[in-house]
């Protein structure tokens, strides 16, 4: 490890990381087992607490991700660890793809809802019945956004699993402090 770098991420970066991981996991668990089909059958999503929680957590993921990106611009320097070129490249690529997925998942959910003219239903009774700025746009017809959202949801969970396995590999076999850098605790 570079002796000039801090051995841990700052507490806010740690909090953002773990909160995002928890929220994404819960949203995935509550995720669609045919939400689109239910809505096509006339089920009001506001009557399904799993849908309301899934959509609310999805918006929270978007907000957390935007706040995290803002914090990355201002936070203290991130820890740096010595690793081989291919391992460093895989780490960078994995993090970039995770960031892109964290942004793309809520966007594809909004595209799916807007293009199918389904309401966005959130906790507290917040409801957006129509999103004409999506429904009337050319992008609405480019894909089945519900399928894209489902695929990206599966992808982020697989990649998060690989990310966690890599952190455990670093901790158990390389003993280089990578996992400890993101764990809360004393500096």
Q: Does the pLDDT of residue 41 top 70, yes or no?
A: yes
Q: Are 46 and 127 in contact (CB under 8 A)?
A: yes
Q: Does the pLDDT of residue 1 top 80, yes or no?
A: no
Q: Provide the whole-model pTM.
A: 0.91
Instruction: Say which range, 31-40, 60-69, 146-155, 162-171, has the weakest mean pLDDT.
Output: 31-40
The two three-digit tokens of residue 31, written as one number: 């995720």
Map tokens 């669609």 to a residue.
32
At CA 77, angle to CA 166 and CA 15, rounded to 5? Answer: 60
Map tokens 């460093």 to a residue.
88
So what's the pLDDT on residue 185?
A: 82
Average pLDDT, the chain: 92
Q: Are 118 and 39 in contact (CB under 8 A)?
A: yes
Length of the chain: 187
Residue (of 58, 173, 174) closest to 112 by Cα position? 58
Q: Are 113 and 40 in contact (CB under 8 A)?
A: no
Q: Does the pLDDT of residue 96 top 90, yes or no?
A: yes
So what's the pLDDT on residue 6?
A: 64
Q: Does the pLDDT of residue 136 top 60, yes or no?
A: yes
So what's the pLDDT on residue 37?
A: 78
At CA 150, angle to CA 67 and CA 92, rounded to 5? Answer: 50
> CA 166 to CA 80: how far, in whole Å?
16
């Amino acid at each position: 490890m570079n002796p000039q770098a801090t051995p841990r991420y700052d507490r806010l970066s740690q909090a953002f990381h773990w909160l995002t991981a928890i929220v994404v996991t819960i949203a995935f668990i509550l995720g669609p087992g045919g939400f689109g089909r239910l809505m096509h059958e006339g089920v009001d999503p506001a009557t399904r607490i799993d849908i309301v929680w899934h959509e609310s957590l999805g918006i929270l993921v978007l907000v957390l991700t935007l706040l995290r990106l803002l914090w990355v611009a201002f936070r203290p320097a991130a820890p740096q660890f010595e690793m081989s070129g291919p391992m460093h490249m895989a780490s960078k690529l994995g993090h970039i793809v995770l960031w892109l997925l964290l942004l793309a998942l809520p966007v594809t959910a909004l595209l799916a809802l807007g293009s199918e003219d389904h309401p966005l239903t959130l906790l507290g009774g917040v409801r957006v019945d129509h999103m004409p700025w999506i429904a009337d746009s050319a992008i609405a017809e480019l894909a089945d956004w519900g399928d894209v959202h489902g695929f990206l949801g599966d992808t982020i969970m697989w990649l998060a699993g690989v990310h966690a396995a890599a952190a455990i590999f670093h901790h158990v076999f390389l003993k280089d402090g990578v996992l400890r850098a993101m764990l809360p605790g004393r500096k």
